[in-house]
């Protein structure tokens, strides 16, 4: 019987593993290999250039701009999403209808979200400027995505808007699994709602929050699709919304430098990996055991 | 516990990958022993097409469709009935063809156009294209006493020439100018200005009439570059255009280029640009113009086709050539920036290169070109192809601009040759039009970018 079991396991895994190897692993490995060449995308014999591509990254103003902007997004987006999601999850306990509403953006593809928000931000007939005028705040009207100081914040607002709903649902579900008697006991001991939230709820749902940090950290290092579709240029005005993913795409498909673009990809890969590990370590807490 | 499983899983995955040799390459090339033999050349068959070889044609099927290329195939088959044509009209040409160029098994003719096209400069520097000289010197299809090269509009061959070698032939001609509505201008009694000073004066008048003088496709700043570099070319002449393309030190800071930047800057300074334009997509800006809210918009000659669905009846759009910058411009009135698009290439490793060239000889014939003008509402680069056709308002004005310009047609190469420079110019022009930088700063920035490209040994340089 035993042999039959292994044969069955091997037989059912070989197809998915092969697909995974061909379509996921092999492109990764090839990118690592190409990162050390000057491949232009059509050449059949790229030249090995050692670490040239990687050392070039350090004085590429576009890549550095991307790094800077992704860094800012990493500081702002995860924190904002988690705080908002926790607040909304705590504030809407038991009322499922809100959760459906918050979850709605999650059902839209990024491309649709970007196009929608482009219309919200557009200067002359946009929803945002229209709303400001309706409130009598005409002096606040802006060319939102065309102002270097505002554009990245506008993109981040969309990122937050589109991801907060998922975490509301995630945190709500976690909160519901917190046993009611613990809460009750705390209340009897004289703890107010804020203390209960800080001392009881957060520690008990911390694993979900930790997952949130990591997913959002990875998402903040991307942002390619939103920037590519929404922003001026794209990546503008004047590279104020440049992200690393966009730089990679442009380097490969506009500038025809696939080797250099692969080096960017490898750098982003290691950056994302280290940040994920770092977030995992920093957010580590003693697990509360509930028997 | 968790770490352990993760690590062992990674190790397992790595072992699988290594054992199956997946690191093997996106870059392996193939052989080229399976080329079709060249047929005998004759007056009837100047390019030596082998009469029964297969011919694979890949066409970008975008705004212009691909009927014209099917027509060209039909025309070729009339002469060589045994040739089997495999016609593919596709989008995303680059995605489909990149692996085939890498493997050195490309099709015989490609229309390398559209958003996902392959970078021409890269194809050229990798030596992937056939020299088209044989085709250019062959007799034309319609009049055997005329060489093929003499049937094309001025500038077309040069447009596809890289370091003295003709490698690309563009089929559709694109002119850049400033567009306005003939009926709107007639209503207000305005005439299209001849000089930039007149343009600024007229703009004030337009503002007084309660309209916005200019808008532009702010989301894509290159649209405003076109009038800027056109003004500079008119003032500085062909020498300036060459010095820009040859990355000469200081070319972007030359007096003509600076004056052109100043001219565009003045639109912003004097409030002649519709507020918010810098945040508009091309559709939004062009629609505002089509609604008659704005008098002028800079664009290439594809505008009429693009706006077809939203242009009100009786709007009568017309492309005016960019006005003269000074009273002492080096190029005469009517000089116009033109380039050609729909880039046809015959890959160097094509199995049936003579067939590919013959296909182009049929494509650039009078009959096929006329069909293109009618179906695609664009100007083919074949001389006289639109003569006697009943052209729409916009296309008619474009054809008239070509005639008026005569030999004074200029085009910049830096956009195709040096994509990083062209991005730097776009960024700077976006800042100039919003007054965040002034013309001196604009020139300084762009010059710096040009110098950086000139210094970068990883970018292949071209000269003209």
pLDDT by residue for chain B (464 residues), tens only, comes to 334 444 444 444 444 444 444 444 566 554 455 677 777 777 778 888 888 889 999 999 877 888 999 999 999 999 999 999 999 999 888 889 988 998 889 999 999 988 778 888 888 888 899 999 999 999 999 988 999 999 998 888 988 898 889 999 999 988 999 999 999 999 999 999 999 999 999 999 999 999 999 999 999 999 999 999 999 999 999 999 999 999 999 999 999 999 999 999 999 999 999 999 999 999 999 999 999 999 999 999 888 888 888 999 999 999 999 999 988 899 998 999 998 788 999 999 999 999 999 999 999 999 999 999 887 778 899 988 888 888 888 989 998 998 899 889 999 989 888 999 999 999 999 999 999 999 999 999 999 999 999 999 888 898 88
B25 in any annotated domain: no
State how far residue A87 is from chain B, nearest Cα, in angstroms. Answer: 31
B86 sits in which H/E element = strand B84-90
Q: Are residues B321 and B357 in the same domain?
A: no
What is the Cα–Cα distance from B360 to B425, expressed in whole angstroms? 34
Radius of gyration of chain B (CA): 25
Cβ atoms of residues A88 and A164 within 8 Å: yes
B461 in any annotated domain: no
Q: Are residues B96 and B227 in the same domain?
A: no
Cβ contacts of B276 on chain A, cutoff 8 Å: 122-124, 143, 146
Q: Closest residue of B to A251, CA-based?
A: B420
- Tell me if chain A has a CB within 8 Å of the CB of B2: no
What is the Cα–Cα distance from A290 to B13, expressed in whole angstroms? 35
User: What CATH number does residue B266 fall under?
Assistant: 3.40.190.10
CATH number corresponding to A54-282: 1.10.3720.10
Cβ atoms of residues A57 and A263 within 8 Å: yes
Q: Are residues B112 and B68 in the same domain?
A: yes
- Tell me if chain A has a CB within 8 Å of the CB of B93: no
Q: List, for chain A, all residue ranges whose pLDDT scores fall below the cut of 70.
A: 1-3, 94, 286-291
Q: Which domain holds residue B439?
A: 176-338+412-455
Q: Are residues B132 and B217 in the same domain?
A: no
B395 in any annotated domain: no
Q: Are residues B237 and B187 in the same domain?
A: yes
Q: Are residues B312 and B270 in the same domain?
A: yes
Contact yes or no for A21 and B25 at CB 8 A: no
- Digit-coded pLDDT (tens) for B20-37: 444 445 665 544 556 777
What is the Cα–Cα distance from A199 to A195, expressed in whole angstroms? 6
- Tell me if chain A has a CB within 8 Å of the CB of B115: no
Q: Are residues B160 and B203 in the same domain?
A: no
The SS3 of residue B308 is coil
Q: Are residues B195 and B305 in the same domain?
A: yes
The SS3 of residue B371 is helix
**Number of domains chain B is built from:** 2
B18 in any annotated domain: no
Among all chains, which residue has been given the structure tokens 């009897």?
Answer: A188
Neighbours of A153 (CB within 10 A): 15
**In whole angstroms, how far apart are CA B119 and each of A258, B184, B349, B414?**
12, 41, 17, 13
* Chain A interface disruption, residue of B458, B459, B460, most A CBs within 10 A: B458
In Å, how far from its chain's centre is CA A260? 24
Contact yes or no for A44 and B29 at CB 8 A: yes
Partner A, chain B 16-45, Cβ-Cβ below 8 Å = 16-17, 20, 22-23, 25-29
B11 in any annotated domain: no
B28 in any annotated domain: no
Q: Is A11 exposed, middle or buried (0-12, 13-18, 19+ CB in 10 A)?
A: exposed
State how far residue A179 is from chain B, nearest Cα, in angstroms. Answer: 26
* pLDDT value of residue B27: 62
B43 in any annotated domain: no
B307 sits in which H/E element = helix B303-307
Cβ contacts of B281 on chain A, cutoff 8 Å: 118, 122
What is the Cα–Cα distance from B306 to B69, expressed in whole angstroms? 21
B31 in any annotated domain: no
Q: Are residues B254 and B381 in the same domain?
A: no
Q: Are residues B286 and B322 in the same domain?
A: yes
B85 sits in which H/E element = strand B84-90
Radius of gyration of chain A (CA): 24
């Amino acid at each position: 019987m035993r042999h039959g079991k292994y044969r069955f396991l091997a037989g059912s895994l070989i197809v998915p593993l092969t697909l995974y190897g061909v379509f996921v692993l092999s492109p990764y490995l090839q990118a690592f290999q190409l990162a050390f060449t000057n491949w232009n995308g059509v050449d059949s014999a790229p030249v090995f250039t050692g670490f040239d591509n990687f050392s070039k990254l350090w004085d590429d103003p576009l890549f550095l701009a991307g790094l800077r902007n992704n860094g800012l997004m990493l500081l702002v987006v995860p924190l904002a999403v988690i705080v908002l999601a926790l607040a909304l999850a705590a504030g809407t306990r038991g009322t499922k209808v809100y959760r459906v509403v918050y979850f709605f953006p999650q059902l839209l593809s990024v491309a649709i979200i970007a196009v929608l928000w482009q219309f919200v931000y557009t200067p002359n007939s946009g929803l945002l400027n229209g709303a400001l005028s309706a409130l009598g705040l005409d002096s606040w009207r802006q060319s939102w995505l065309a102002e270097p100081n505002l554009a990245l914040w506008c993109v981040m607002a969309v990122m937050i808007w589109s991801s907060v709903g998922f975490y509301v649902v995630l945190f709500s579900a976690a909160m519901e699994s917190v046993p009611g008697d613990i809460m009750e006991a705390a209340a009897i001991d004289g703890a107010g709602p804020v203390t209960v939230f800080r001392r009881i709820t957060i520690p008990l749902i911390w694993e979900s929050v930790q997952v949130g940090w990591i997913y959002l950290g990875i998402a903040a290092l991307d942002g390619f699709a939103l920037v590519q579709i929404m922003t001026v240029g794209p990546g503008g005005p004047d590279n104020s919304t440049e992200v690393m993913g966009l730089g990679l795409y442009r380097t490969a498909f506009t500038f025809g430098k696939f080797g250099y673009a692969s080096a960017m990809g490898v750098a982003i890969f290691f950056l994302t990996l280290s940040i994920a590990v770092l977030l995992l370590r920093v957010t580590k807490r003693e697990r509360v055991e509930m028997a | 516990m968790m770490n352990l499983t993760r690590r062992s899983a990674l190790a397992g995955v790595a072992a699988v990958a290594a054992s199956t040799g997946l690191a093997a390459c996106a870059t392996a090339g193939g052989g080229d022993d399976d080329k079709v033999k060249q047929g005998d050349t004759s007056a009837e068959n100047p390019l030596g097409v082998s009469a029964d070889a297969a011919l694979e044609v890949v066409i970008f099927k975008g705004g212009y469709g691909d009927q014209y290329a099917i027509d060209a195939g039909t025309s070729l088959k009339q002469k060589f009935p045994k040739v089997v044509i495999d016609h593919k009209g596709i989008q995303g040409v680059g995605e489909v063809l990149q692996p085939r160029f890498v493997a050195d098994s490309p099709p015989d003719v490609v229309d390398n156009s559209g958003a996902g096209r392959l970078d021409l400069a890269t194809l050229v520097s990798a030596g992937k294209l056939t020299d088209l000289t044989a085709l250019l010197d062959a007799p034309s299809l319609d009049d055997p006493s005329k060489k093929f090269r003499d049937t094309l509009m001025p500038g077309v061959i040069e447009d596809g020439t890289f370091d003295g070698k003709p490698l690309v032939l563009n089929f559709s001609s694109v002119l850049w100018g400033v567009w306005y509505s003939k009926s709107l201008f007639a209503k207000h009694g305005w005439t299209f200005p001849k000089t930039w000073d007149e343009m600024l004066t007229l703009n004030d008048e337009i503002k007084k009439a309660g309209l916005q003088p200019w808008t532009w496709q702010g989301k894509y700043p290159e649209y405003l570059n076109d009038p800027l570099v056109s003004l500079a070319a008119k003032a500085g002449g062909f020498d300036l255009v060459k010095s820009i393309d040859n990355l000469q030190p200081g070319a972007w800071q030359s007096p003509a280029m600076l004056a052109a930047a100043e001219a565009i800057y003045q639109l912003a300074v004097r409030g002649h640009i519709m507020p918010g334009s810098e945040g508009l997509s091309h559709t939004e800006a062009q629609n505002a113009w089509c609604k008659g809210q704005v008098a002028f918009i800079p664009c290439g000659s594809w505008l009429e086709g693009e706006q077809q669905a939203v242009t009100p009846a009786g709007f009568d759009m017309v492309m005016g050539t960019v006005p003269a910058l000074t009273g002492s411009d080096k190029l005469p009135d009517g000089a116009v920036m033109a380039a050609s698009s729909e880039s046809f290439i015959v890959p160097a490793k094509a199995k049936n290169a003579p067939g590919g060239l013959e296909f182009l000889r049929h494509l650039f014939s009078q009959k096929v070109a006329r069909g293109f003008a009618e179906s695609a509402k664009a100007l083919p680069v074949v001389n006289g192809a639109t003569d006697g056709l009943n052209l729409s308002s916009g296309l008619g004005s474009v054809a008239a601009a070509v005639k008026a310009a005569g030999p004074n047609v200029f085009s910049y190469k830096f956009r195709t040759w040096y994509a990083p420079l062209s991005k730097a110019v776009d960024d700077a022009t976006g800042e100039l039009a919003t007054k965040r930088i002034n013309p001196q700063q604009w020139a300084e920035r762009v010059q710096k970018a040009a110098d950086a490209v000139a210094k970068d040994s990883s970018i292949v340089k071209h000269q003209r």
